[in-house]
Copies of this chain bind each other. A is one copy, B any other.
Amino acid sequence: MKIVWAGSPHAFDVSDRISKLVASDPGFRKDNRSTLSRKELFKNTLRKAAYAWKTIVELRLSEEEAAKLRFYVDEPAFTDLHWGMFIPAIKGQGTEEQQQKWLPLAYKMQIIGCYAQTELGHGSNVQGLETTATFDPQTDEFIIHSPTLTSSKWWPGGLGKVATHAIAYARLIVGGREHGVNGFIVQLRSLEDHSPLLGITVGDIGMKFGNGAYNTMDNGVLRFDHVRIPRNQMLMRCAQYTCLCMPSDALYLDKVLDVYSIAFASIAVMLWVSQVTCEGKYKQSDVPRQLVYGTMVYVRQTIVADASCALSRAVCIATRYSAVRRQFGSQNGGPETQVIDYKTQQSRLFPLLASAYAFRFIGEWLKWLYADVTRRLQANDFSTLPEAHACTAGLKSLTTTTTARILTSKNTKTRAIVEKLRAPSKFSTSPWMFELHLVPVDSPFLVEYPVDPTRHGCGIRTGFIGIHRKKKRPGQRSSSSSEQIVSPLSSRWSPLEEESLPAEDKSLEERLDGIEECRKLCGGHGYLCSSGLPELFAVYVPACTYEGDNTVLLLQVARFLMKTISQLGSSKKPVGTIAYMTRVKHLMQCRCGVQRAEDWLKPSALLEAFEARAARMSVACAQNLSNFDNPEEGFAELSADLVEAAVAHCQLIVVSKFIEKLQQEIHGKGVKQQLEVLCNIYALFLLHKHQGDFLSTGCITPKHAALANDELRSLYSQVRPNAIALVDAFNYTDHYLGSILGCYDGNVYPKLYEAAWKDPLNESVVPDGYHQYIRPLLKQEICTARL
């Protein structure tokens, strides 16, 4: 099962080695984060970032390994933005000359960059940015300026204290005319003494949610006072500004979107030259010159991949602790019942466990889709692009609408219908590049290692899974550091783990709610920082903030659904994940064939129910929309319903991909059966949770719903004996998990006890403040005390 989770034996091997390397190196210790003051915390992060870099250089890690190392260091740092936003932005939006100048400096960290887009008053809506970049033909420079308070850059990670350079987004003004928002490379600090350059005011924006968590990062504020930069520091290949969401005005464009195009859109960003010449001319070609992919994708992919880990970590903690924790039900002085044996606990925990797997697999599928489309594009094969089937706007819609986190320019040029697609003219081969065309396309659902069920199942059902477990597995965790770390790897390219598709975005939200639910499932102790759950929650909260715009994204999916329905009569056939709409007639009238509870285990029954629900909800929305004279008004008015229809569609995708995976060959004794149980739990849990959708659209009857519920209960009993094995399969080290409640050996109580004494408050037995504030109370001297 570990291999299934990791994706491939190779991926397992790399993860396993690197995670153990990090875990065994005291330089990467992270259990003290919650007690450090802001300054100590930040300084410690600086140290770790330098130490990680040193380790990478000294051990000559491959880029795949280096990326994994940063991942397992598991601490938000300025390097995330440098590698994840600054470099990709230059690669994606810089001209060749710009790349040649800046990338080598960045690769060697001779400069450290950040990505400064968001402003105090402007987040989701990038077109509202106020920072200006005015061209001065006299000096051949741009003057970057923050005209208002709300134009202060606000949020960029790494900006506050570390970054020497920024990609800053600003409204381009040439000869008094505005040309939309563009990116500029601006130096912020002296490379000699790190002091801010003239005209630059820069600082940290202050404390964020949680202990440790994102407070390791110097999210910053930045104001420009007429800062001059050379003309060639405007990112000249920029036209589509990559960003974290979609403007609402784009909702009203006449566009085509389907799930393929959404996935594709996050791969392929249409770029063309927009230039300012030294004479002060602004030029932009009408036709995109290049199709570049693999730029901002990398950023979003890491955001999504990080968040996708979060749920599995929380589930791992809650599951292990639920087997250790005992409350009530003791008979004749025997041990109490493990709380994992309570049905109410199971009905909250196991759907989350199933979701962790479901999200992992949809991520793998996206990776595959991603690679597949990329490969075809390289071969000039556009046959799989849904746009080929879609409206005449063709790829124009792709560039303007794109996915979750790519913004359209308001510039009308960017909305021009693009008739032609050209293959990328050139690929960079720098080892620091994250271009996707080099990703090896391995079978996404490869399973090779057999799983030993005796080991996984050991002592869970009947036995004691607490402190003794360690003894049952002697030496198992200690061999890591002595293993050969730096092996020559066949591929130097890290496959992207996941991609942001609406289904993923939806699941993001579920994951976050899931972390909090896991914390609750741990009772009081889940509230301690040493449980790891508070920080896990706080760190992934920002991912959820991008989700604010998830609403907007889902509205786009809804718009695509409406479009698909409106075109059902035409020659444009829905393909890919929306192909079920071709059967809309059938789906509008089909009846659920389930007669006994077990019938719900048939993939066909599940799929049809989910397809019918999604189709009927979409059709209902389309009908309601048609009652409005003004479609835009109707869309705004019905937006809450449209979002629900979009959710139904996305859930169908996740369920169907899970089912598809199980139709493939899966090695390992019992592995497939366990996954089938999880798949059924996932689907039937969704069905129960969203019963209202299924019933109101008549897809199922109350009787069917009751049978589904019966089946769900019996599935919980089936997953119970394997629950621990299923979270062990994540193969997380105790270091990475960072949770006493979730520790591998189950030795929870002694560890909690020991950790408590490390709190700074315990440095002295009588607390600081006793003489000033407690003693006067006790001695009735409060009125004369100086407070």
With A155-B524, A759-B38, A787-B54 known as contacts, the answer to whether A248 contacts B329 (CB < 8 A) is yes
- Look across to chain B and name the residue whose beta carbon is closest to the beta carbon of A51: B787
Number of copies: 2
Least distance between A697 CB and chain B CB atoms (Å): 7
A327, B128: Cβ atoms under 8 Å?
yes
Tell me, in angstroms, the Cα distance from A591 to B500 when the chains sit together: 45
With A328-B249, A760-B39, A778-B109 known as contacts, the answer to whether A753 contacts B208 (CB < 8 A) is no
How does the 8 Å CB contact mask read for A677-706 relative to B, with 1 for contact and 0 for none? 000000000001011111111100010011
Tell me, in angstroms, the Cα distance from A221 to B336 when the chains sit together: 23
- Flag the segment in A5-13, A193-201, A660-668 that touches B: A193-201
- Look across to chain B and name the residue whose beta carbon is closest to the beta carbon of A49: B773
Kindly identify which residue among B696, B753, B767 contacts A705, using a CB–CB cutoff of 8 Å: B696
Interface residues in A136-157 by Cβ distance below 8 A to B read 149-150, 152, 154-155
Tell me, in angstroms, the Cα distance from A688 to B542 when the chains sit together: 29
B713, A706: Cβ atoms under 8 Å?
no
- Look across to chain B and name the residue whose beta carbon is closest to the beta carbon of A757: B203
- A547 interface hit (Cβ, 8 Å): yes
With A125-B336, A194-B774, A210-B210 known as contacts, the answer to whether A749 contacts B150 (CB < 8 A) is yes
- Look across to chain B and name the residue whose beta carbon is closest to the beta carbon of A205: B756
User: Contacts of A191 on B, CB cut-off 8 Å?
Assistant: 778
A195, B765: Cβ atoms under 8 Å?
yes
User: Contacts of A774 on B, CB cut-off 8 Å?
Assistant: 46, 50, 112, 162, 194
- Look across to chain B and name the residue whose beta carbon is closest to the beta carbon of A689: B692
How does the 8 Å CB contact mask read for A597-628 relative to B, with 1 for contact and 0 for none? 00000000000000000000000000000000
Tell me, in angstroms, the Cα distance from A54 to B753 when the chains sit together: 36
- A523 interface hit (Cβ, 8 Å): yes
A523, B542: Cβ atoms under 8 Å?
no
Tell me, in angstroms, the Cα distance from A551 to B521 when the chains sit together: 11
B753, A149: Cβ atoms under 8 Å?
yes
- A772 interface hit (Cβ, 8 Å): yes
- A382 interface hit (Cβ, 8 Å): no
Interface residues in A236-250 by Cβ distance below 8 A to B read 247-249
- Flag the segment in A94-102, A255-263, A528-536 that touches B: A528-536
With A43-B769, A756-B206 known as contacts, the answer to whether A520 contacts B547 (CB < 8 A) is yes
Tell me, in angstroms, the Cα distance from A72 to B249 when the chains sit together: 44
Kindly identify which residue among B193, B205, B342 contacts A639, using a CB–CB cutoff of 8 Å: B342
Least distance between A701 CB and chain B CB atoms (Å): 9
With A124-B328, A125-B327 known as contacts, the answer to whether A542 contacts B516 (CB < 8 A) is no
- A308 interface hit (Cβ, 8 Å): no
Tell me, in angstroms, the Cα distance from A538 to B697 when the chains sit together: 39
- A733 interface hit (Cβ, 8 Å): no
Tell me, in angstroms, the Cα distance from A752 to B203 when the chains sit together: 13
Least distance between A384 CB and chain B CB atoms (Å): 33
- A545 interface hit (Cβ, 8 Å): yes
- A379 interface hit (Cβ, 8 Å): no
Tell me, in angstroms, the Cα distance from A787 to B542 when the chains sit together: 30
- A254 interface hit (Cβ, 8 Å): no
- Look across to chain B and name the residue whose beta carbon is closest to the beta carbon of A640: B347
Tell me, in angstroms, the Cα distance from A150 to B749 when the chains sit together: 7
State the interface size on chain A (CB cutoff 8 A).
146
A330, B529: Cβ atoms under 8 Å?
no
User: Contacts of A768 on B, CB cut-off 8 Å?
Assistant: 39, 42-43
B695, A124: Cβ atoms under 8 Å?
no
How does the 8 Å CB contact mask read for A746-769 relative to B, with 1 for contact and 0 for none? 000110110111111111011111
Interface residues in A163-221 by Cβ distance below 8 A to B read 164, 191, 193-196, 202-211, 214, 218, 221
- A473 interface hit (Cβ, 8 Å): no
Tell me, in angstroms, the Cα distance from A42 to B763 when the chains sit together: 13
Tell me, in angstroms, the Cα distance from A698 to B392 when the chains sit together: 47
B528, A639: Cβ atoms under 8 Å?
no
- A388 interface hit (Cβ, 8 Å): no
Tell me, in angstroms, the Cα distance from A314 to B515 when the chains sit together: 21
Tell me, in angstroms, the Cα distance from A222 to B640 when the chains sit together: 52
Interface residues in A542-581 by Cβ distance below 8 A to B read 542, 544-545, 547-548, 551, 555
- Flag the segment in A115-123, A270-278, A488-496 that touches B: A115-123
User: Contacts of A755 on B, CB cut-off 8 Å?
Assistant: 206
Least distance between A321 CB and chain B CB atoms (Å): 12
Kindly identify which residue among B46, B326, B547, B783 contacts A769, using a CB–CB cutoff of 8 Å: B46
How does the 8 Å CB contact mask read for A424-448 relative to B, with 1 for contact and 0 for none? 0000000000000000000000000
- A58 interface hit (Cβ, 8 Å): yes
User: Contacts of A595 on B, CB cut-off 8 Å?
Assistant: none
User: Contacts of A752 on B, CB cut-off 8 Å?
Assistant: 120, 154, 205
- A654 interface hit (Cβ, 8 Å): no
Least distance between A253 CB and chain B CB atoms (Å): 13
With A109-B777, A760-B37 known as contacts, the answer to whether A529 contacts B125 (CB < 8 A) is no
With A208-B529, A529-B209, A782-B54 known as contacts, the answer to whether A521 contacts B548 (CB < 8 A) is yes
Interface residues in A638-684 by Cβ distance below 8 A to B read 638-641, 643
Least distance between A162 CB and chain B CB atoms (Å): 6
User: Contacts of A328 on B, CB cut-off 8 Å?
Assistant: 124-125, 128, 247-249
Tell me, in angstroms, the Cα distance from A643 to B688 when the chains sit together: 14
Interface residues in A769-787 by Cβ distance below 8 A to B read 769-770, 772-778, 780, 782-783, 785, 787
- A57 interface hit (Cβ, 8 Å): yes
B785, A149: Cβ atoms under 8 Å?
no
B777, A50: Cβ atoms under 8 Å?
yes
B160, A761: Cβ atoms under 8 Å?
yes
With A191-B778, A328-B248, A545-B520 known as contacts, the answer to whether A208 contacts B696 (CB < 8 A) is no
- A267 interface hit (Cβ, 8 Å): no
B709, A702: Cβ atoms under 8 Å?
no
B34, A770: Cβ atoms under 8 Å?
no
User: Contacts of A58 on B, CB cut-off 8 Å?
Assistant: 783
- A76 interface hit (Cβ, 8 Å): no
B206, A38: Cβ atoms under 8 Å?
no
Kindly identify which residue among B47, B551, B692 contacts A692, using a CB–CB cutoff of 8 Å: B692
User: Contacts of A542 on B, CB cut-off 8 Å?
Assistant: 524, 527
B343, A639: Cβ atoms under 8 Å?
yes
B149, A112: Cβ atoms under 8 Å?
no
User: Contacts of A449 on B, CB cut-off 8 Å?
Assistant: none
How does the 8 Å CB contact mask read for A696-728 relative to B, with 1 for contact and 0 for none? 111000100110010001000000000000000
- A526 interface hit (Cβ, 8 Å): yes
- A111 interface hit (Cβ, 8 Å): yes
Sample (25) of A-B pairs whose CB atoms are under 8 Å apart: A27-B787, A38-B761, A39-B768, A43-B769, A46-B772, A53-B777, A54-B785, A108-B780, A109-B777, A128-B330, A149-B749, A155-B524, A160-B761, A161-B767, A203-B757, A208-B529, A218-B767, A344-B643, A347-B640, A641-B709, A688-B692, A691-B691, A691-B692, A692-B692, A692-B693
The 6 A-B residue pairs with the shortest CB-CB distance, nearest first, are: A691-B692, A209-B534, A692-B692, A695-B695, A46-B773, A43-B769
Q: 8 other contacts beyond A50-B785, A247-B328, with CB at 8 A cut-off?
A: A34-B206, A39-B761, A47-B769, A112-B774, A120-B752, A149-B753, A154-B752, A160-B761
